[in-house]
Amino acid sequence: MTTTLVWFRSDLRLADNPALHDAVRRGDKVIPVFIWAPEEAGAWVPGGASRWWLHHSLFALDATLRGHGSRLILRRGPSRVALEELITETGATRVVWNRCYQPLALERDREIGTALQDQGIEWASFNANLLVEPWQVRTRTGAPYRVFTPFWRACRELGWEERPLPTVGECAPVSPNIDSLDLGAFGLLPKVAWDSGLRVNWQVGEQAALERLQEFCDDAFVDYAGARDYPSRPGTSRLSPHLHFGEISPRQIAWALMHAAHTSRVAGAVAAAEAYVRELGWREFAHHVLFHYPHTTDAPMDPRFADFPWRADAEEMLCAWQRGRTGYPIVDAGMRELWQTGWMHNRVRMITASFLTKNARLSWHRGASWFWDTLVDADLANNSLGWQWVAGCGADAAPYFRIFNPILQSKKFDAAGAYIRRWLPELDALPDRWIHAPWEAPTTVQAEAKVVVGRDYPAPVLDLKATRDESLAVYRTHLQAVANA
Ligand SMILES: Cc1cc2nc3c(=O)[nH]c(=O)nc-3n(C[C@H](O)[C@H](O)[C@H](O)COP(=O)(O)OP(=O)(O)OC[C@H]3O[C@@H](n4cnc5c(N)ncnc54)[C@H](O)[C@@H]3O)c2cc1C
């Protein structure tokens, strides 16, 4: 019987897992392994919130595997050395994995594939994490896509007909002679316990992901298009960390939603499911861009922004933004939601990112780094695309003159201030009329609400109109200079 190492990476699940499914279907003796090798991620080593999630996800995966008669072998990187050691220890003749698309992971996997082949070890890789892989769609001229709408149209035309694979059945037990590190040895959990907010807000693992999906299919998806922009409503799926760690696949989600839509009696259910799947399309697009333009993790996609004069002297501003102390409630509520829960609503991600890049004129890279460290769904493809989109320097980006006004956004998408009050309890007693711009409230109102601006809540750290005008002038001058060069 062939012994096969199933190398788990961003696919921490048993259902719709083609690499695992392939090994089990062939009747191989399966050895599931996860290798912790943060050095292989280069500058984008998983941040604190991601490590927290990974710890719990590995714990859950091991428990699920044990329920299937197997267990997860944990090893420390380098990945190639760890795999070769395991091959020697177990007599494995085959290694399988599901593909990752981050530039350094791709390079590493190519090298490992070549090394295995040289040693006479068979290997195979599979698509588990995308509906359409980055090389499957091209423009008419054969180039990669840079604009979302035609990209998504091409993906739809190509289709993703295959059904998700079922969860695997019983696996052969892994010999007790094969050593596994203790999960604690990876040091993923924080030494100082800052994670209480994460613990109360998230259930981690494949089972939790499936339950979240079921809940979303049962309750929320029919209102998705209307509710997804309102941060106080449970209008989005919150599946992003589960997707990032591969506890669930986009194909499972798309299939479940389309099924729920076609069996629903609610008018517009199919349109709602399609609106949702289109958002999964943005995830696909982000991976397409990252694969074809790997430099975009650190440099702008649009070369005109390579030397853009971002402000370098604004540490205090950055700090105020990170701590949710800018004096703009919708921005501060978002940043505090992020700090406390490891997640932020998409609408507020756009508002906070616009504030940092367009009003404070700090580089998108500094914002992306903070998100990277604090988001439980921190994802190189989605984060780079999201930040560059807002900053105006990415693929299919918002034009430079689109600057979100946080007060207008707040009035439109959080009219009664429910979201603001949840994350900024010090503003709770302010009447709705003043909640979006507390410094405008008369002193009597501030006193009555027990929130004196400048004492109990910060005064605005910048002037919206002045910074907007300045920013527009800098963008315009810079782009003009590049055009004339
Ligand atoms: C500045 C900025 C940074 C971002 N950083 C990340 C990140 O690190 N990781 C991340 O997963 N998403 C990121 N996003 C995209 C988006 O905000 C999140 O995917 C979304 O808020 C996750 O919540 P949800 O699962 O409830 O989304 P839903 O609305 O339920 O959407 C379902 C899924 O579609 C995908 N999706 C939705 N919107 C986008 C989008 N704009 N771009 C790419 N994929 C999308 C996600 O995988 C999401 O889980 C970022 C957006 C911005 C503006």
Classify domain 3-128 at the CATH topology level: Rossmann fold (3.40.50)
Q: Residue 422: what pLDDT?
A: 98
pTM: 0.97
Give the least confident one: 54-63, 151-160, 345-354: 151-160
Beta bridge partners of 97: 7, 125
Asked if 434 is an active-site residue, the reply is: no
> Ligand 1, from 50, 212, 237, 283: best to mutate by most atoms within 8 Å of Cβ?
283
244/340 Cα distance (integer angstroms): 19
pLDDT in tens, 54-100: 999 999 999 999 999 999 999 999 999 999 999 999 999 999 999 99
Is residue 202 annotated as a catalytic residue, yes or no? Answer: no
User: Three-state SS for 45?
Assistant: coil
Contact 332/324 with Cβ under 8 angstroms? yes
| CATH architecture, range 130-161+206-292 | Alpha Horseshoe (1.25)
Query: Model confidence over 3-61: pLDDT tens digits?
Result: 999 999 999 999 999 999 999 999 999 999 999 999 999 999 999 999 999 999 999 99
Q: Are 446 and 457 in contact, with CB atoms under 8 Å apart?
A: no
Q: Is 207 exposed, middle or buried (0-12, 13-18, 19+ CB in 10 A)?
A: middle
- Tens of pLDDT along 447-484? 999 999 999 999 999 999 999 999 999 999 999 999 99
User: Mean pLDDT over residues 366-382, rounded?
Assistant: 98
Nearest alpha carbon to residue 338 among 350, 347, 349: 349
**What distance in Å separates the CA atoms of residue 284 and residue 238, rounded to the nearest whole number?**
17
Query: Of 16, 8, 57, which Cα lies nearest the Cα of 242?
Result: 57
pLDDT level of residue 161 (50, 70, 90 thresholds): low
Does the C-beta of 287 come closer than 6 Å to ligand 1?
no
Q: Judging by beta carbons within 10 Å of its beta carbon (0-12, 13-18, 19+), is residue 76 exposed, middle or buried? A: middle
212: Cβ below 6 Å to ligand 1? no
Q: How far is the CA of 69 from the centre of ligand 1 (A)?
A: 35
* Residue 441 near residue 430, CB atoms below 8 Å: yes
Ligand 1 pocket residue status of 375, Cβ below 6 Å:
yes
Tokens at 343, concatenated: 């997640």
Beta bridge partners of 29: 3
Q: Which fold has domain 303-484?
A: DNA Cyclobutane Dipyrimidine Photolyase, subunit A; domain 3 (1.10.579)
Provide the mean pLDDT of the chain: 96
The residues spanned by each domain of the chain are 3-128, 130-161+206-292, 303-484
- CA dist 253 and 165 (Å) reads 12
Section 217-238 average pLDDT:
92
